[in-house]
Amino acid sequence: MKKIIALSICALLGSVVGYFCAPIASVAMLQSTDPETFYGSSLALYKNTVVCDCNDRPPSESLQELSRYLSTLQTAKAKNQNSKVLSQEIGLTYVRLSRVEEKLNHQFQADEDMKHGQVELASLGWKDVTKSHLRSLVAQLDSQYKPVEHSGQVGVTTAISTK
């Protein structure tokens, strides 16, 4: 009888420990076997936070947040030189920085950021890297990020088609 109780307690404790250790072990395994997927999902979450928050912040705060995000992207890119996704995101972040710099009347820095973005995106094979096209593209991409309304519901945009 004592063996059955001891075995049951050990099985229960093993299940509880496994329940809490399995997520940590799976993250470690994913990080070591497929780091681009692991960091990609973390980076996507960070991007959503940055872009959504920057839409409603003063330009000086947006500049700081985007600069930190760009630094994070460049650090990730240094570890994964062949990532086209990171290169694209770096290019688009430079365009976002350029827009914010213009709002702050830092025209020289805005032009420099735009050039960096154009070079990065052109190296990926993008055909149209004109200033107006990239601004329009980033504005369209950023418009997809809507902050949560105070009622707890996410803002929804609807398109009405008239014929």
Q: What is the DSSP string of 122-153?
A: HHTT-S---HHHHHHHHHHHHTT--PBPTTSP
In percent, the amount of the chain with pLDDT more than 70 equals: 70
DSSP state of 162: -
Mean of pLDDT values over 63-91: 87
DSSP state of 154: B
Please check the confidence at residue 154 and state whether its pLDDT lies above 60.
Answer: no
This prediction has a pTM of: 0.66
Distance CA 97, CA 101 (A): 6
Closest Cα partner for 55 from 94, 99, 20, 13? 99
In percent, the amount of the chain with pLDDT more than 90 equals: 22
Tell me, what's the pLDDT at 108? 93
Tell me, what's the pLDDT at 83? 83
Distance CA 99, CA 137 (A): 12
Whole-angstrom Cα Rg for the chain = 23
pLDDT-derived band at 85 (thresholds 50, 70, 90) equals confident
What are the helix (H) ranges across 1-58? 2-33, 35-55
Tell me, what's the pLDDT at 11? 86
Tell me, what's the pLDDT at 145? 65
- Contact, 146 vs 52, CB < 8 A? yes
Of the listed ranges 24-33, 84-93, 122-131, 145-154, the least confidently predicted one is 145-154
Element (H, E) at 97: helix 84-103
Tell me, what's the pLDDT at 7? 85
The sign of the torsion formed by the CA atoms of 136, 137, 142, 144 equals positive
